[in-house]
Structure 1
Amino acid sequence: MTELPGIPSDEVAGVLTTGRGDVGTLFVSMARRHPEGTDAEYLRWHTLDHRPEQHRLSAVRASLRLVSTPECRDARLSGDERFDAVDHVMTYFFTDPGGMAGFLDLSRALGNAGRKLPLLPPVERGVYDVREKRAAPRVKVGADVLPWWPVRGAFLIVERESWSPEPLLDVEGVAGVWSTTALDVGPELASAAAGQHLTYCFLDDDPVATAHRLHPILAPREPRFAAPFHPVVPHQWDRHVP
């Protein structure tokens, strides 16, 4: 792969002074596969209807929908069994936790308009404070803009304690890393324990291949959950399904 030209944004003060982005909070919903096996139809509805509507909220800055395939499941590290059923992950990138009020209001309004399907069975939802953002210098774009960067996949790591992102950035396929910590926002929005750590790896290589490269680094840390995912491909709803 030919490397893009120039100096990485995170090393150029003139780029950083123009803006660092305003994403400070993630809403991460982890769910099971569809109980009737119609995952592709669910992804179609969510991607064409529900997800775009969220962007009318000024606090929502980006979003990313992820799916686990059988190959992805085989590439997971063993961890806490409560996460074994996770096959879908939806992430909304918010400016701050205050945006959650509008998020709930919009959900109710869409439901009242007959615009909601039954949600996928939840495993865990969490509202996370973004603590650290890092990008691999080879990708050039800065860590602040990774939510808008066209990923080939993502790798999520749930742990009880935080770790430095540096070793992950040296792994081929890891384009950037965001480190986050779960907030205590109440049961209406979240079930993740306050203080739980979620590391979000943005990938520029096949997620399964990258997962195997990450194993030697992550195995000694004994994460609660460590798994690769594919992004949803619009209008190819059955391309990546559980």
Structure 2
Amino acid sequence: MTLPGTPSDEVDDVLAAGRGDVTTLFVSMARRHPDGTDADYLRWHTLDHRPEQHRLSAVRASLRLVSTPQCRSARAASPAPYDEIDHVMTYFFTEPAGMESFLALSKALGDAGRKLPLLPPVERGVYDVSGRIAAPRIKIGADVLPWWPTHGVYLLLEHGDAAPDPLLEIDGVAGVWTATSLPVGARLASASAGQKVSYCFLDDDPVLTAERLQPVLHERWRRDGVEPLLAAPFHAVVPHEWDRYVP
């Protein structure tokens, strides 16, 4: 189905109405549940913990992603320790200062007995959003991609810079956000400063899109000298179908 009209990013009056206020991402990457109860964890996090974060004025959106065995087999790059990542949780913040209230709320929920043990972490990072781009065919502007109902995300974690435009030429990639990790200290994050993360928002099956992306990514790494840390498809969690996508 082709949606009507002119894409938002080509309409000055639409952009003048607002560009959104997200500047910062908090990205938590974790292993599968040690006891295999990933679905139970996703149920708790999606019904309890994640909604509570939206009482914070600094939190503007959130996105939970999970890898399946089929997703794993479609990865283009996954060296250790990033090969162990099966869960990715992202919060979209208006500013890095919002992390203080984020931590305070987490403590308050824990004190109220409202927390499960966390999934085993691989890496956490606080990232400064540096680029947004959307495919004209989806009509919505790049600024609002975090609120768009995506099938999933193809996630790139890299050292080095490369333009996102070739990624948009792949069927299934509807838009890309890029961000750079900030030096915020071990209390919040373990990602090295300057590390890049890219979210390719998908409007097709993540595994099928991953297959189409592979040659473009290998050319990106060869041509631009980018070092891949993780290049992997993920499904978005489907509420109330907790075991639909699990590691």
How far did residue 80 of structure 1 move?
A: 2.4
Match for 1:241: what amino acid? V
3-state SS, counterpart of residue 186 of structure 2: coil
CA 1:79–1:219: 2 relative to 1, 3 Å: farther
1:16-36 per-residue CA deviation (whole Å, 9 max, x = no partner) reads 000000001000000000000
How far did residue 79 of structure 1 move?
A: 3.5
Please, which runs of 5 or more residues in structure 1 have no aligned partner? none
Please, which runs of 5 or more residues in structure 2 have no aligned partner? 222-226
The residue number in structure 2 matching 1:23 is: 22
The residue number in structure 1 matching 2:76 is: 77
How far did residue 104 of structure 1 move?
A: 0.2
1:21-68 per-residue CA deviation (whole Å, 9 max, x = no partner) reads 000100000000000000000000000000000000000000000000
Show the 5 A alignment for 1:166-185. 166-185=165-184
How far did residue 77 of structure 1 move?
A: 1.3
The CA RMSD over aligned residues, in Å, is 0.7
How far did residue 162 of structure 1 move?
A: 1.7
Match for 2:99: what amino acid? M
- Tell me how far apart the structure 2 counterparts of residues 152 and 135 of structure 1 sit (CA, whole Å): 15
The residue number in structure 1 matching 2:11 is: 12
Show the 5 A alignment for 1:96-107. 96-107=95-106
3-state SS, counterpart of residue 71 of structure 2: helix
1:155-207 per-residue CA deviation (whole Å, 9 max, x = no partner) reads 10011012101000111000000110000111011000000000111000000
How far did residue 78 of structure 1 move?
A: 2.8
Say whether the 8 Å CA contact 2:78–2:232 is kept in structure 1: no
How far did residue 122 of structure 1 move?
A: 0.2
The residue number in structure 2 matching 1:232 is: 237
The residue number in structure 2 matching 1:111 is: 110
3-state SS, counterpart of residue 76 of structure 1: coil
Show the 5 A alignment for 1:206-217. 206-217=205-216
- Tell me how far apart the structure 2 counterparts of residues 48 and 39 of structure 1 sit (CA, whole Å): 14
How far did residue 90 of structure 1 move?
A: 0.2
1:111-143 per-residue CA deviation (whole Å, 9 max, x = no partner) reads 000000000000000000000100000000000
- Tell me how far apart the structure 2 counterparts of residues 45 and 81 of structure 1 sit (CA, whole Å): 29
The residue number in structure 1 matching 2:159 is: 160
Say whether the 8 Å CA contact 2:77–2:232 is kept in structure 1: no
3-state SS, counterpart of residue 224 of structure 1: strand
How far did residue 81 of structure 1 move?
A: 1.4
Say whether the 8 Å CA contact 2:129–2:180 is kept in structure 1: yes
The residue number in structure 2 matching 1:57 is: 56
How far did residue 94 of structure 1 move?
A: 0.4
Say whether the 8 Å CA contact 2:152–2:233 is kept in structure 1: yes
What's the TM-score, normalizing by structure 1? 0.98
Is 2:197 aligned against 1:198?
yes
Match for 1:197: what amino acid? K
How far did residue 223 of structure 1 move?
A: 1.3
Identity of aligned residues (%): 71
1:64-84 per-residue CA deviation (whole Å, 9 max, x = no partner) reads 000000000000013421101
What's the TM-score, normalizing by structure 2? 0.96
Match for 1:90: what amino acid? M
3-state SS, counterpart of residue 84 of structure 2: coil
